[in-house]
Structure 1
Amino acid sequence: MSINLSTTIFHNTIQEYLIALAIFIISLIVLKAIRTVIFNQLDKLAKKTKTDIDDTFIKIIQSVKPPFYSFLAVYFSILTLNLTPLASKIFNAILIIWLTYQVVIAIQILINYIVKKKFPGDKKDRAMPELIGKILKGTLWTIGILLILSNLGVNISSLIAGLGIGGVAVALAAQNILSDLFSSFSIYFDKPFEIGDFIIVGTMMGTVEKIGIKTTRIRALQGEEIIFSNQQLTTSQIQNFGKMKERRVIFRLGVVYQTPTEKLKKIPHLIQEIIQAIKLTRFDRTHFVKFDNSALTFEVVYYLQTPDYNKYMDIHQAINFQIKESFEKEGIEIAYPTQTIYLNKN
């Protein structure tokens, strides 16, 4: 029994249906072949290179599931058919939604890669990058939904205006919270201090333990936790000892007025030898600077090549001990506040 290919069924002939079927099969084969070729090439490239960007592209390709290729093949095939307006709208809507979804997923994978690459950090320092990633993803999904609605014929102008008014209302209601939020962005990107740094803010001082979205927490020397709002930190003057590569140390010592000039001239050289013999120090200068009331005063300056405060105290103590030992050997007497009273017998 022969089939008449010109027979019309639902506004299309059998021949047109067969052509659409052939286009569907060919499109499906071509799309899957393209995916396989691209995937294989990227996989080979990933094995040859040390970078992980190619692994990210592989994830993007893997995020496109087989049903999407099947739908694309169906869509290409129905372009040759005469569909009702309702059917055309349905297929176009599905295509727009699905394409937008896949693009958003692909960009989301890239955002995750960039955030992890640019802001490695440890688990304690992951709050800010994760927040940035969530904000970017939320913005991306919002744009995607608006694009879908716009392509489906929905007037989004009033919707955008409503969102704008709502955003202004929320911003006014949460003004302090948003100020702290933006201040946390400023702290994270500008990095005036980092976790582990010892900082002084006004009369408060301690080691930074956590930089949060709204507050920053530091541990004081006495052991208590001090909590600052991020806005307060961005508007305050901060002394950061964690950024200090070397510490400049300046101190003065005095010897008695009875010290002979020859021994006074020896003191700068004695102190220089003491400091230069100690590791992690860099001698700068020693000078006889002043005739004080009860002492001939010398000023000593040296640099400590470590920011560690305990190490500084240990080294400075060692210098003081050696200065006293050296002065005792040389017969140089360290001064202390004294008064000499002369009595006139007449």
Structure 2
Amino acid sequence: MRRLRRKVYFPSIERNCWSEQRELNGDRIEVRLIVYSGVHVGGLSVTALAMIIKEFRILMPFEMDEYYRGQLFAVSETSKNETGGGDGVQVLENDDFTSTTIRPGHSITGIYTHKIYHTKSKSPWALRKIFPDAAFVLHEECWNAFPYCKTVIKNPDYMKDAFYINIESMHLPDKGHTENALDLSPALLKKREVIVIDIYDDSLLKKTDITPETDVREFQSKKTGRGKLPKDWVETTKPVMCCYKVVQVYFKMFGFQTMVEHILHKQYPRIFAKFNRELYCWTDRWYDMTMEDIKKMEKKAVEELKKQIAEPEKRGTVCDVGDKEIY
């Protein structure tokens, strides 16, 4: 057996040790996951939750109310497109809510959803060989009080309180020039990195993400007359709005920072770009829908997802053995 081991010496007590032998590319490897207690690196306690923060600004050619309807439609449609063969989306709750605590200092009303994402077949093969099935089951809670929205993603069956993602969104009728759309504290502003996402930019996507049906450069809406998007569409097209998304990843597994940084820097731009390109290219499917129509569609989709996840055929994004990319 070949052992891949990185030796780290700290005057500390090991906590939450996990070790397992697995096969990877024909070799037997020992996988060890350790959280150290009482270690200080650069004056920071490893047991404390580390945090990475990035703000994504996604520019879209919509009025605010148009985007809200399109967003709800696209979430439902994407869930169906990605569900099947045991993986995909389960909707546990979808109810109205009112809260004074979700966004401190504000009383908000909107739609609360609790979903479970089964992501094993959609995760890179190398990670599937290393981690147990429970690592690929994510719980998502979302409070959508448009134009504000908060989403929390956790992995309670495996990483428990050692990892979660917090996403806060604000939608504004501007071109992405609002410097603190989500009222971040001075401390968070110092850590924040701003990344502007242009749905015209194909470089954010994989080749399999781009189809003739979701090519923003070729799509032209019959119902609105908008499109085809030129390269300088932000300056030459009206209307324009911006989705501000502050993504914070909290984790306390020693040695994971580089991987998490890569995932956040590479995958979230792809996710946000792909979703919003599809939303735009589906304009003629949702443009005439009322909020009542969308609520009926969402209710129907919950039942469809229950059936699809039990079917043998997998749908949407699937990573096979040939996909060696981890992040």
TM tier, smaller: under 0.3
Structure whose CA Rg is larger? 1
Choose between structure 1 and 2: higher helix proportion.
Answer: 1
Greater relative CO (CA pairs within 8 A, separation 6+): 2
Choose between structure 1 and 2: higher strand proportion.
Answer: 2
Q: TM-score when scaled to structure 2?
A: 0.23
Q: TM-score when scaled to structure 1?
A: 0.22
